[in-house]
Every structure is written in C-alpha cells, then in structure tokens.
Amino acid sequence: MKMKKRPNILLTGTPGVGKTTLGKELAQRTGLTYINIGDLAQEGQLYEGYDEEYQCPILDEDRVVDELDEKMVEGGVIVDYHGCDLFPERWFHIVFVLRTDNTQLYTRLESRGYTGKKLQDNVQCEIFQTIYEEAMEAYSEEIVHQLPSNTPEDLERNLDQISEVPLVFHRGRAA
C-alpha cells in the first residue's frame, strides 16, 4: 500500500499571537516536527544584514528556504513564523493565521519587553490584519484559516482542531 505523505502545516500571525505555544504542543500531540524559523535562522546565522530601526537581524530568505526544502519535501513539518510569503507555496497543505485582540496583544508584547515603535507597529500589524492578507495572497484561499488565540480555551480548541489535520490528510480527504 502506498504511504501518504504527512502534511506540512504553517502557523503564522503577528508576533505574540501564540504560534510557538500552539506549535510546540501540537508537535507533541501529532508527532510532527516543529520548526521555528527565528530559531533556525539564529542557529545557522541565516542573516543578510541588520535592521537598525527594529534592532534585529534581517533574515536571508533564500538561505532559509534552501536549508529547509529537503525536510519540507518529506512532509510532516509544522513551521512557525511571523511572515508567510517567503516560503514556496508548494510546501504547505494548510495555513493557520492566529489572531489576537489588540489590547491582549499589547499586554503580551509589552511583557516580552517590546516598547515604542516596535510595540506600536506590531499591534498595528494585527489591527490591519497584515499577515492574514499576506497569507491570502501567497496561498490558495481554501487552505488559509484564521484561528482566535486570546484565551487558554482558544488554545485547547485550536489544538483539538489542528490535531485532526494529519488524520484527515491520511484518510485522503481534503481538509
């Protein structure tokens, strides 16, 4: 019997919406491999400069894609990143955009140490649903889903829903 490939899942959204929290727990529940693009870039120093305004290194997108392609082709990967149009469309079977209310997000980012322009810009990114629109542009609209990520109950519900994804693909039905 031909073994179906396990799906690749993209978790995206503004910083602080809960991608890492969800992604790590999801990996435990499903046995899929969790990859945080920020950590991957840090480990491999996959950067191409430094952004003075935001005080952070600039991702070398081509090297990130090269680094991951082989694994993605195998399948069974959960990718966590606050952007989504740098990845090849063919990588992902399903894309989840996590969404958090502004006040809630503000508090989370503030306690992460964000201040000033960086804090304002990230909250605005969420208000303008920038990442959702980016995802709708970059992927087929039918595979892009928004998930509320405000409360522990939201987290549980999202875990339950997404844990079904590998099973659904295995049975051969489209999610």
Residues that bind ligand DAT (CB under 6 A): 13, 15-21, 108, 149-152, 154-155
CA 98/CA 147 separation, integer angstroms? 5
Residue with the closest Cβ to ligand DAT? 18
Q: Minimum distance from CB of 62 to ligand DAT (Å)?
A: 24
Q: 47-51 and 56-59: which strand pairing? A: antiparallel
| Residue the block writes with tokens 């799906």 | 7
Closest separation in Å from C-beta 37 to ligand DAT: 11
Return the number of the residue (7 or 18) whose C-beta is nearest ligand DAT: 18
* Cβ nearer to ligand DAT, comparing 11 with 138: 11
Beta strand pairing call for 144-148 and 33-36:
unpaired
Q: Which is nearer to ligand DAT, 18 or 166 (CB)?
A: 18
Residues 6+ apart with CB under 8 A from 32: 6, 9, 26, 76, 77, 78, 166
From residue 41, give the alpha-carbon distance in Å to each of 47, 53, 57, 70: 7, 19, 10, 16
Q: Nearest approach, Cβ of 18 to ligand DAT (angstroms)?
A: 3
CB nearer to ligand DAT: pick between 152 and 172? 152
Q: Least CB distance from residue 127 to ligand DAT, whole Å? A: 16
